[in-house]
Amino acid sequence: MSDAYLELVNSGITKTLATKLGLPRPAHLRRTDPSAVDTPLVPGRTLVIGEGPDTDAIARVLLGWDLDVHRNAPEGKVGAVVVVLTDLTSPEQASQRVRALGSVLRSLAPGGRVVTVSRAAGPEDEPAVAAVRHGVDGLLRSVAKELRAGATGNGVVLGETVSPDAPSAVGALRFLLSARSAFVDGQFVRVSTPDGAAPADWTRPLEGRVAVVTGAARGIGAEIARVLHRDGAQVLGVDVPAAGESLATVMNEVGGIALQLDITADDAAERIIERARARYGRIDVVVHNAGITRDKLLANMKPEQWDAVVAVNIEAQLRMNDVFLAADGLAPDGLRLVSLASTSGIAGNRGQTNYGFSKAAVIGMTRSLAGRVAGAGTANAVAPGFIETEMTARIPTLTRQVARRLNSLQQGGQPVDVAEAIAFLASPQAGGINGEVLRVCGQNMVGQ
């Protein structure tokens, strides 16, 4: 689904006109081409703002990726700014680093990145420590709203026992700097434990892994299959028999196996395990992507419209996860569960009580599962905002145009943007991220 307005305001006379009239000018986002792996990590120089051992450790990591790292603002454009705030113990200490960030923002390249690295505020913290740590939340979200030209602002938040060069801290930093996080804006990735491992090859972190993707025949699910395959995974795609032909096409494209199956069937997980064991001997990643909508105002909603959405979007996942987690030797290196939530499950949406309930239920389930799998695997969710798919193409034109512009990047995301976030959470370098809900919404104005 293309966005004609975005094309218009970025070309020829209509670009000039839009600028003169002060109309929203969504930019072409810096994305990774799913078929290529050599997109530069950062579009230009990287400035690291901060002092002390944590800042030194982060600068060393960035140098290890061959980035052009500067500790003082360089002349000319800057591709990324990393602001290290982990050592701050009171709000007044933030001033100098924030001013250093402010002075370089005008030099941020199109598609540039601002990433803060800070510590999580906890109830045990002294009030001043908690204040500055939580202050980063409002700072970063506000900075993200001031950025233009497809640049984004996000943060990595470290748990008390996590060093800034722990695998998942590094993995999150790399994801947020890269083109893979194009539509992630104004968000924090929380790294709660030092678990995880840097991949041998950052371009193929899922090499040797087996991933199940439900609803893989089209839309976001098909793109998840493509991105996981690009990252090295073997893919088992699941979809309903009615979508069998498109599922076969996608699975042929990624060299995976297609399983025609309704996930609401009582034995759905057993059948998936049987196929995966027979072909690959294991399952490392399960992406619960299949989902449906049956929109109606609650006053007009028929019981079957409520029940169908709840059955597919949450009940099937609950049943399947119990079976996956009980299966002996299924995931020798720990199971990675990633579910599709939605911003409708965070902020609610008129006409979507059933969908909002089911997607908020996914968030509740994810947080509970995180405790259950801790130490052996992870459970996380991705909450997309407005994504250009067949589902959103059905929204009436005017409503669609408005919905697209209601985020800091002033456009809808692409299925690949959601897929990139899922591939990151499924990767070995995300082993310390557990029970999180990562929004891929361009900093949508709804919700947090």
Judged by CB under 6 A, does residue 426 bind ligand NAI? no
> Which residues contact residue 360 at a Cβ distance below 8 angstroms, ignoring those fewer than 6 apart?
341, 345, 346
Rounded distance between C-alpha atoms, residue 193 and residue 208, angstroms: 24
Distance from the Cα of residue 200 to its chain's centroid = 22
Instruction: From 9-17, 96-104, 120-128, 379-387, give the range in contact with ligand NAI by CB under 6 A.
Output: 379-387
Judged by CB under 6 A, does residue 84 bind ligand NAI? no
204: burial class by Cβ within 10 Å (0-12, 13-18, 19+)? middle
Size of the residue set binding ligand NAI (CB under 6 A): 28
In the complex, least distance from residue 249 CB atom to ligand NAI, rounded to whole angstroms:
12
In Å, how far are 178, 264, 404 from 13, measured between CA atoms?
32, 52, 23
User: Other CB atoms closer than 10 Å to residue 12's CB: what's the count?
Assistant: 8
**For ligand NAI, which is the closer residue by CB, 70 or 271?**
271
Two structure tokens written together for 94:
């933030």
Of 100, 391, 395, 445, the one binding ligand NAI (CB under 6 A) is 391
Largest Cα–Cα distance of the chain, in whole Å? 64
Per the annotation, the verdict on 280 as an active-site residue is no
From the DSSP assignment, how many helices (H) and strands (E) are in the chain? 16, 13
Of 116, 154, 342, 408, the one binding ligand NAI (CB under 6 A) is 342
Of 47, 220, 254, 286, the one binding ligand NAI (CB under 6 A) is 220
| Residues of this chain, 273-302, that bind ligand NAI according to CB under 6 A | 289-292
Judged by CB under 6 A, does residue 135 bind ligand NAI? no
In the complex, least distance from residue 27 CB atom to ligand NAI, rounded to whole angstroms:
20
**Is 428:167 a contact under the CB 8 Å cutoff?**
yes
Instruction: From 217-225, 250-258, 275-283, 297-305, give the range in contact with ligand NAI by CB under 6 A.
Output: 217-225
CB burial readout 51-68, b (16+ within 10 A) else e: eeebbbbbbebbeeeebe
**For ligand NAI, which is the closer residue by CB, 167 or 385?**
385
Judged by CB under 6 A, does residue 214 bind ligand NAI? yes
**For ligand NAI, which is the closer residue by CB, 197 or 395?**
395
Residue from 183, 306, 355, 386 carrying the catalytic annotation: 355
What does the binding site for ligand NAI look like in residue numbers (CB under 6 A)? Answer: 214-215, 217-221, 238-240, 243, 262-264, 289-292, 312, 340, 342, 384, 386-387, 389-392
Q: Which residues are known catalytic residues?
A: 355
